[in-house]
Amino acid sequence: MFEALGVEVLDGAEGADLRPGGFQAGPMWVSAFTLLSLTGSRDVERVWRRLYSNVERGGDPRGSRLGGREIRGEQGELGGDAKRFQTTVGERLVSIPTYYRLLYSLAFQFDFNVARSLLPSPDVVSVILSSTGRVRYVLVNGVRMLTLRPSDGFFTLSIEAGEIVRRASTPPRFRVVVKGGEVTRIKGSVLKPIVLDVDPLARPGDEIIVVDELDNLVGVGKLKLPPIIVKSLEKGEVARIRALREGGV
């Protein structure tokens, strides 16, 4: 199957999960078929060919697995031609494995369409690490899009990311809809009297975007109450606002 796609088969690849989106936890590896199906682009084939050639040269990603074979190299995180360099103090481009870990995390939190829209390519995604060496902020083209919540491993959204989520999803998914005429009343919280609709699939603690009736972005924040309870309330805090769009909608 891999040869039919024009991708070399690495040792042990026959045991890969060939379902679209298939992923094996632990020492991370993603089958070539999976990568091609996720991105819909032949660019992944180029990456795999490059990494495969690094296998033969001994300059592969350290401690990762490609096709079930453990690979270790001595040229940094990605080794050889695929090596990524630190760009500024505290900010660095993501490695291919880190990019796909972030992508899968976002797909779990939102959906895959939103995840691919937020992180379009590893070439434009960089991260800022915390003092413990873990990912803290995710930037796209130098703009901070996401912040990792250490408490649960989910991401919080910036206003820029909220706009991308709005464009990449269909109402009312990921939304709290408010009355357009009441937008100026929103400060730190969204209260029930101005709420028109809430994503029925959302859960308390989920990241949401706040929009008006015309689906214009108002702000981003966190849902506080279950949607089924919101509909039965007359007052109360529905969502906690993290950031409001400057200049209004």
| pLDDT at residue number 138 | 97
**Which residue range is the domain that position 51 belongs to?**
1-82
The domain boundary residue, chosen from 58, 82, 106:
82
| pLDDT at residue number 192 | 95
Tell me whether residue 76 is in a domain.
yes
Please report which confidence band the pLDDT of residue 81 belongs to, taking 50, 70 and 90 as the band edges.
Answer: very low
- Contact at 8 Å (CB) between 120 and 140? yes
Question: Does residue 69 sit in the same domain as residue 17?
Answer: yes
Please report which confidence band the pLDDT of residue 142 belongs to, taking 50, 70 and 90 as the band edges.
Answer: very high
Distance CA 224, CA 119 (A): 27
Question: Does residue 103 sit in the same domain as residue 67?
Answer: no
pLDDT digits (tens, 9 = 90+) for 202-221: 999 999 999 999 999 999 99
Find the DSSP H helices in 173-226.
Answer: none
Tell me whether residue 234 is in a domain.
yes
User: For residue 56, is pLDDT > 80?
Assistant: no
Neighbours of 146 (CB within 10 A): 27
Question: Does residue 47 sit in the same domain as residue 96?
Answer: no
The domain boundary residue, chosen from 82, 114, 131:
82
Question: Does residue 35 sit in the same domain as residue 63?
Answer: yes
To which H or E segment does residue 210 belong?
A: strand 207-211
| pLDDT at residue number 133 | 85
Please report which confidence band the pLDDT of residue 201 belongs to, taking 50, 70 and 90 as the band edges.
Answer: very high
- What's 116's domain CATH number? 3.10.450.90
Distance CA 87, CA 93 (A): 7
**Which residues partner with 207 through β-bridges?**
222
Question: Does residue 7 sit in the same domain as residue 57?
Answer: yes
Question: Does residue 77 sit in the same domain as residue 141?
Answer: no
Question: Does residue 174 sit in the same domain as residue 160?
Answer: no
- Contact at 8 Å (CB) between 126 and 87? yes
- Number of folded domains that form the chain: 3
Tell me whether residue 249 is in a domain.
no
The domain boundary residue, chosen from 169, 202, 231:
169
Tell me whether residue 26 is in a domain.
yes
Please report which confidence band the pLDDT of residue 187 belongs to, taking 50, 70 and 90 as the band edges.
Answer: confident
